[in-house]
Structure 1
């Protein structure tokens, strides 16, 4: 899966084209042409499409928000809600917004947060492909229940060492956010989230890529039938949470409104 100019162009299943109507909107955005309310409707409708269409539409919305925030001020909350299609995505978004607040408190700029998050998303896609190839399943499936997310977070922290300046802080923050997924599984099964995360990290440091939070509330090898997940679904949960947070950030840049936005998302988890 690859991205070009911030737009995902290939899906996990192979090449998929962005629908012509959405593609025309993207061209108008990139050309700084006049947009209409119908263009926003096209973007909203496309958010519910395939992974390629969904991500292209989501990033089109973020691009408009960065360039012309007033144009979509009233409609962005509905877009955020449409993006956050799952409880895990909402958990990621909530955790990411809390991380953004900490970054803003130490004067990391909105531009640095956006750039660092995009770098992290690109790296997450590459790492997810690597993990799919390294594990025993097909390239379309990876260990679920927080196993692959734990591995992604660990490898993303290692990658952060190659990033300079404040972008490094953002990539490290995104790695922490990715671990919201195993924490969510721990909470769902009654495990202490911190204890589970410490145990998971230890197992993965020893190369146990397929260790997650099992259905019976243990940190162990996940079942190769019920415990594996489609890599596309995992990516979408992570991407949606991060992208929704970025969209909120274009409109709410101070701690108080960011906290309110996080609280609204948290109510839906």
Structure 2
């Protein structure tokens, strides 16, 4: 899978002009071929071995490409595409690689006929503009308040994944999580699933036991065994400071001559901790969370006041607790006010799952943060379920931002291919041919869907082309049987944001790689294990008569 490394030694080895372009296209096609079998509901899994000996089994394009090691710069650029797509919209990572590889391959015949790359790029850019207009034209609006519509949509994103057999459960989890963290701030929508919807994976139990908590769960137990482990409607204080004796700075010197001095030192320490606890006790909380430590003495004072303390909470968990309970994180106990106390939580409880204790803060009123509890037979299964769930949540988030849907199952790509081919006839000059080639390369998505489930690609695509030629742009491929179906009845839709981003990223990156006409490498052959002369400047070379 590793493409050859182009090494420049003192003889200035390099690839330039046509050779560099062909090399780039070949590398892009190689990456696309690795990923191709991972598209659609009949997708094959890839088993990846990492350097530490661990294994990852997945059909998620982004997860696969993260683990693949390549040396060719164009192949590295292709791998970046999947990462860009994942960061931007969270879905369509496999499609974007397949599409970019096919678009580059479609440019190959024109390069061989000595058509200038800039002419090809101009045609591709024109086709991209027209394609984005067509996507908007064939998309339909969606009501984000209608749960059934949203569930059908999210199903299409995880129907191709490992968790498809539990799709109702997972779609419900994804939709509920996104709805929980959805906020409107100054008229702007904010859906931050990375920070406020945490996935907690606990091996054991069945996948059916997974659910979204209306609140937060952290892997912590109370600091003192006698503290309360269940409190209804608790008053919660969140701290970002230690409840311990504050030692002096590094220059502090204390001289202890007799026992009374030592007793006085301990007394000062005790007073300081007691004062800290009094600031907290004054507000009559039931629960105190701190990101730092809690000394034994502080535990004693808090326990006497019937307050439960939990220490060393992660910063991210503390932020989620603040969002869920309405509390404010405070840096100094002296600054605590009554308004900083969180009161939105309905129940605090410490539960034991397996060998570990977990703190639950649930039944929160208007919680804007949540924890998704995933159960499953093994860590590998849970990791794959989490990857699939992230895609589903991203789909729900995209639709909330842009509530328009495009038909799935390759229908959108086929509609684009047919309409752009028609439009190409009206373009004069040499640009007509690369324009038409881009239109044909979009057919790679429906073709791959048919191939992955063992169908006859030529026969099925001919039927599909005929449907689209009659203006029936919602017809696509049933990825399970390989036959053509109407997506309106079949119910597979994808967010318009994902479709537009996929086409945009694929075409623009293909244009970028076509612009490259020179690859010069400064990597020495010796580093790569080639055994050739090292790429060193003459003054750095050892002066022992060695060949330069």
Q: Fold match, TM over 0.5?
A: yes
| Local SS of the residue matching 2:430 | helix
Q: Distance in 2 between the 1:200 and 1:253 partners?
A: 41
TM-score, normalised on structure 2? 0.31
Q: Distance in 2 between the 1:131 and 1:246 partners?
A: 26
- Write the mapping of 1:161-240 to structure 2, written as runs, cut at 5 A: 161-214=425-478, 215-222=480-487, 226-240=491-505
Deviation string, structure 1 residues 102-140 (Cα, Å, up to 9, x no partner):
1111222111011001000000011111111599x9961
- Say what the alpha-carbon RMSD is for the aligned residues: 2.7
Q: Distance in 1 between the 2:406 and 2:489 partners?
A: 9
Partner of 1:103: 110
Q: Distance in 1 between the 2:110 and 2:415 partners?
A: 24
Structure 1's 141 and 225: CA in aligned 2 closer, same or farther, altered over 3 A? farther
Are positions 1:251 and 2:512 aligned together? no
Deviation string, structure 1 residues 132-151 (Cα, Å, up to 9, x no partner):
1599x996101111111111
| Local SS of the residue matching 2:472 | coil
Of Structure 1 and Structure 2, which has the larger fraction of its residues in helix?
Answer: 1
1:81 offset after TM fit, Å?
1.8
Deviation string, structure 1 residues 199-248 (Cα, Å, up to 9, x no partner):
10011122321111013321111255751111121122222222222222
Partner of 2:79: 81
Of Structure 1 and Structure 2, which has the larger fraction of its residues in strand?
Answer: 2
Are positions 1:129 and 2:136 aligned together? yes
2:140–2:405 contact (8 Å) kept in structure 1: no
Corresponding pairs, count: 180
1:212–1:221 contact (8 Å) kept in structure 2: yes
2:78–2:97 contact (8 Å) kept in structure 1: no
Q: Distance in 1 between the 2:454 and 2:488 partners?
A: 19
Q: Distance in 2 between the 1:88 and 1:143 partners?
A: 15
TM-score, normalised on structure 1? 0.60
Q: Distance in 2 between the 1:118 and 1:252 partners?
A: 19
1:80–1:247 contact (8 Å) kept in structure 2: no
**CA radius of gyration, larger in:** 2
Partner of 1:152: 416
Which segments of 5 or more consecutive residues in structure 1 lack a partner in the other structure?
1-73, 255-269
Q: Distance in 1 between the 2:504 and 2:470 partners?
A: 27
1:80 offset after TM fit, Å?
3.2
1:95 offset after TM fit, Å?
1.2
Partner of 1:32: none
Partner of 1:120: 127
Q: Distance in 2 between the 1:239 and 1:147 partners?
A: 17
Which segments of 5 or more consecutive residues in structure 2 lack a partner in the other structure?
1-71, 86-92, 143-148, 150-401, 520-548
Structure 1's 113 and 218: CA in aligned 2 closer, same or farther, altered over 3 A? same
Kindly report structure 1 stretches of 4+ aligned residues shifted beyond 6 Å. Answer: none
- Write the mapping of 1:2-17 to structure 2, written as runs, cut at 5 A: none
Structure 1's 106 and 182: CA in aligned 2 closer, same or farther, altered over 3 A? same
